[in-house]
A = this chain, B = another copy of it.
Amino acid sequence: MTDDLHGAVGVLLGDDGQRYTVGRRNLVEVLRQAERPLTAAEILEAGSLPQSSAYRNLAVLESCGVVHRVAGTDELARFELAEDLTAHHHHHLICTECGLVSDFTVPDSLESDLAAVAHRVALETGFRAEHHRLDLLGRCVHCG
């Protein structure tokens, strides 16, 4: 029950003065079992909380850094566990046909280049980059 993930989530919530309730554990579990970002609708189907609780708790988890909000090409919000809590840094494949979002990773050398670019841009524009987002847009295997 008390494995690494839930322990880490508990700490993040606690740091923020929040409780790790049953509903929140439920959400984390649903997101853990998904191998891709889920829409609110998918989460509602998979979990067993009312809408308002799901949305409210996703917001809490997001502000504590447990959950991350992912932008696709449609207007639906999608959520995944923060990278700190899961294996590793990854990027998204976004299907422009059906909206499906899935994960992929890139070579470390490319990640270094991206970091260098972020640094250059900061110098040139005064924008302070904290993260980057690299997505491939196209047709998923289904919509190919």
A-side interface residues toward B, CB under 8 Å?
69, 71-73, 75, 77, 93-96, 102, 104, 106-107, 109-110, 113-114, 117-118, 121, 124-141, 144
Can you list 24 pairs linking A and B with CB atoms under 8 Å apart?
Answer: A69-B73, A75-B75, A75-B77, A93-B127, A93-B129, A102-B125, A104-B124, A104-B125, A107-B117, A110-B113, A114-B134, A125-B141, A126-B144, A127-B140, A127-B141, A128-B139, A128-B144, A130-B137, A130-B139, A131-B137, A132-B136, A133-B133, A133-B135, A134-B134
Copy number in the complex reads 2
Interchain CB contact under 8 A, A135 and B137: no
- Selected from B72, B93, B117, the residue in CB contact (under 8 A) with A106 is B117
Chain B residues contacting A106 (CB-CB under 8 Å) are 117
Closest chain-B Cβ to A113's Cβ sits at a distance in Å of 5
Chain B residues contacting A114 (CB-CB under 8 Å) are 110, 134
Interchain CB contact under 8 A, B121 and A93: yes
Closest chain-B Cβ to A94's Cβ sits at a distance in Å of 8
Known: A96-B130, A130-B139. A117 touches B125 (CB 8 A): no
A94 to B69 alpha-carbon distance, docked (Å)? 14
Known: A71-B71, A106-B117. A132 touches B134 (CB 8 A): yes
A102 to B124 alpha-carbon distance, docked (Å)? 13
Interchain CB contact under 8 A, A138 and B134: no
A106 to B73 alpha-carbon distance, docked (Å)? 22
